[in-house]
């Protein structure tokens, strides 16, 4: 959290003061008292401002969204690698007399892509490669043209690639390389446009225009071409996606916004959560959420709400041109229809879920016009909106900080004095230890809460003093491992119900340091 990080930076501000390192063995100790430092921390320092907002009365609202589930595009539409091998010879024993520039092979071919359970009519390729290997024993340069019919890029250019294969001498002539398919939209309905998962290709081979004379090509001459389409990643797909069923059991997602909280509890009385199921797929669907648990370090609480275990229908997304409008299924979770208060009060660091998703429960009702785009998938999001108003009971937050160790070796020992004016209605206890948990710089230093009036609003800040001792052992540990852990435990003052947090609340502090340095000169 920002609060912990900033406090930690102040703790070690003096230790970062630059003292030039010297190389000679001559040294002596210096006792130095550093100047006074001031700071001010508001709610936006205590919590990320990306998850908070201020109301007109300056009370603070906790407002953020977290993704629970997002459909993996490749689990729905995945095109495996496909290899095409063609061997071309002249079928006449007498051969043909071929003029420079004359085509002697023109071979259209429909290639079936082995896509299981999905019948694709069109795809836009995000990434993909055609690897080619050409082998020729023709004693003259030949030009190879490779066309994928109805493959167009964003500039309107067709996929046509031209290569020159050098003349063969005593051995075969070989040429290898690759073409990128990224950015191409490809029709997969075949040559007659009545199929699916079918790539239409055309291979043409001709004698180079630069060949000095006619060349007789016989049935002893050949060209072998191997094309492998690999690593296709689809950005957009259209067709029929089949009656696919996806079942997810006991998957866990981190809830990063609350991960710094490792213990304690809160009591809240107003929670408003929207559970949004977004169908960005151009296909009807059925879904059910079978389990949705709040997971913390101490317990797991399943959500109770009518949506859990029920089967729900989702309409297909709509498309106009290239614009996709997802279908939104939204349900509200509140204290009257669920146990969402207890679910949030568990302070989850992750969410465990199980769900089922079935596409096209009624079959191919679109006539091969299902669609999906990576920018508009199927996903489930939880939007949390609640006043930052609670009762804290030993609410423990931790943060790991890294101290700039460049000049720590010059510090022998010392202390820092802090005067803290707390304008929040929360009492806190601070402790600071090294990451190895062997040296404690201070523990149970109490920062008293601000004085709260009968409306539950802080009317006066309260001043507390802390002294941080840096022993020689602590300095040595910082030399060994310059990471520290700060733990802060919050408690609400006794006798109050839930207290609002306002955006003008702050903690002000000033500090002074008294360190012993070892100075060295050459």
In this prediction, residue 14 carries a pLDDT of: 32
Among the listed residues 122, 14, 84, 11, the one whose alpha carbon sits nearest the alpha carbon of residue 372: 122
Contact 181, 82 (CB under 8 A): no
Residue listed under structure tokens 């609350």: 258
In this prediction, residue 419 carries a pLDDT of: 81
Among the listed residues 290, 287, 308, the one whose alpha carbon sits nearest the alpha carbon of residue 250: 290
Round to whole Å and give the CA distance between 465 and 22.
Answer: 37
Round to whole Å and give the CA distance between 21 and 520.
Answer: 7
Residue 433: alpha-carbon gap to chain centroid: 32
Q: Report the 10 Å Cβ neighbour count for 179.
A: 18
In this prediction, residue 301 carries a pLDDT of: 94
46 sits in which H/E element: helix 43-46
**pTM of the predicted protein model:** 0.72
In this prediction, residue 436 carries a pLDDT of: 66
Contact 409, 448 (CB under 8 A): no
Round to whole Å and give the CA distance between 428 and 444.
Answer: 9
Among the listed residues 128, 142, 143, 135, the one whose alpha carbon sits nearest the alpha carbon of residue 179: 128
Dihedral of the alpha carbons of 367, 368, 370, 372, in degrees to the nearest 10:
-170
Residues forming beta bridges with residue 372, ordered by sequence position: 237
User: Residue 19 is encoded by which pair of tokens?
Assistant: 């003292």
Helix (H, G, I), strand (E, B) or coil at 145: strand
345 sits in which H/E element: helix 340-345
In this prediction, residue 358 carries a pLDDT of: 95
Round to whole Å and give the CA distance between 516 and 495.
Answer: 46
Residue 321: alpha-carbon gap to chain centroid: 29
Round to whole Å and give the CA distance between 317 and 176.
Answer: 43
One-letter-per-residue 3-state SS of 378-405? EEEEEEEEEECEEEEEEEEEEEEEECCH
Residues forming beta bridges with residue 413, ordered by sequence position: 516
Contact 347, 261 (CB under 8 A): yes
User: Residue 228 is encoded by which pair of tokens?
Assistant: 């492998």
Task: Enumerate residues 6+ apart whose C-beta is below 8 A from 392.
Answer: 264, 265, 266, 426, 490, 491, 492
Round to whole Å and give the CA distance between 309 and 298.
Answer: 25
Positions of the chain with pLDDT under 70 = 1-39, 41, 45-49, 257-269, 390-412, 434-444, 478, 482, 484, 486, 495-496, 511, 513, 515-522
CA 113-117-122 angle, to 5 degrees, is 50
Would you mind telling me the total number of residues written for the chain in this entry?
Answer: 522
Round to whole Å and give the CA distance between 319 and 410.
Answer: 67
In this prediction, residue 423 carries a pLDDT of: 87
Rg, the chain, Cα only: 35
């Amino acid at each position: 959290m920002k609060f912990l990080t900033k406090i930690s930076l102040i703790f070690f501000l003096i230790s970062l003061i630059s003292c030039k390192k010297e190389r000679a063995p001559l040294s002596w100790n210096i006792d130095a008292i550093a100047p006074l430092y001031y700071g001010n921390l508001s709610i936006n320092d205590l919590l990320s401002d990306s998850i908070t907002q201020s109301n007109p009365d300056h009370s603070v609202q906790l407002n953020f969204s977290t993704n629970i589930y997002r459909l993996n595009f490749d689990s729905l539409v995945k095109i495996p690698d496909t290899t095409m091998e063609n061997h071309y010879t002249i079928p006449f024993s007498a051969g043909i007399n071929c003029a420079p520039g004359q085509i002697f092979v023109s071979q259209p071919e429909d290639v079936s892509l082995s896509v299981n359970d999905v019948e694709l009519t069109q795809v836009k390729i995000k990434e993909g490669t055609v690897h080619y290997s050409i082998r020729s024993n023709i004693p003259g340069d030949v030009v190879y043209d490779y066309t994928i019919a109805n493959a167009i890029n964003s500039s309107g250019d067709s996929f046509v690639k031209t290569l020159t294969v050098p003349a063969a001498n005593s051995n075969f002539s070989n040429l290898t390389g690759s073409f990128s398919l990224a950015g191409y939209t490809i029709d997969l309905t075949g040559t007659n446009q009545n199929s699916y998962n079918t790539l239409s290709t055309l291979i043409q081979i001709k004698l180079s225009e630069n060949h000095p004379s006619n060349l007789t090509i016989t049935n002893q001459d050949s060209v072998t071409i191997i094309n492998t389409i690999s690593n296709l990643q689809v950005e957009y797909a259209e067709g029929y996606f089949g009656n696919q069923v996806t079942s997810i059991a006991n998957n866990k997602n981190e809830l990063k916004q609350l991960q710094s909280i490792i213990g304690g509890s809160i009591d809240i009385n107003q929670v408003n959560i929207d559970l949004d199921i977004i169908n960005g797929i151009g296909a009807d669907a059925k879904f059910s959420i079978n389990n949705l648990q709040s997971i913390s370090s101490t317990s797991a609480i399943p959500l109770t709400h009518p949506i859990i275990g029920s089967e729900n229908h989702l309409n297909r997304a709509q498309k106009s041109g290239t614009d996709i409008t997802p279908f939104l299924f939204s349900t509200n979770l509140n204290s009257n229809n669920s146990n969402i208060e207890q679910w949030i009060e568990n302070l989850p660091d992750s969410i465990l879920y199980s769900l089922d998703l079935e596409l096209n429960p009624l079959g191919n009702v679109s006539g091969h016009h299902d669609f999906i785009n990576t920018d508009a998938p199927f996903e489930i999001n939880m939007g949390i909106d609640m006043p930052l108003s609670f009762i804290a009971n030993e609410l423990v937050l931790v943060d790991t900080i890294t101290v700039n160790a460049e000049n720590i070796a010059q510090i022998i020992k010392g202390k820092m004095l802090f005067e803290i004016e707390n304008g929040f209605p929360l009492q806190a206890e601070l402790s600071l230890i090294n990451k190895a948990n062997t040296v404690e710089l201070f523990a149970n230093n109490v920062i008293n809460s601000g004085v709260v009036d009968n409306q539950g609003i802080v009317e006066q800040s309260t001043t507390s003093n802390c002294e941080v001792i840096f022993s020689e052992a602590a300095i040595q540990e910082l030399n060994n491992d310059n990471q520290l852990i700060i733990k802060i435990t919050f408690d609400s003052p006794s006798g109050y119900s839930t207290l609002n947090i306002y955006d003008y609340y702050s903690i002000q502090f000033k500090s002074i340091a008294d360190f012993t340095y070892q100075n060295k000169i050459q």
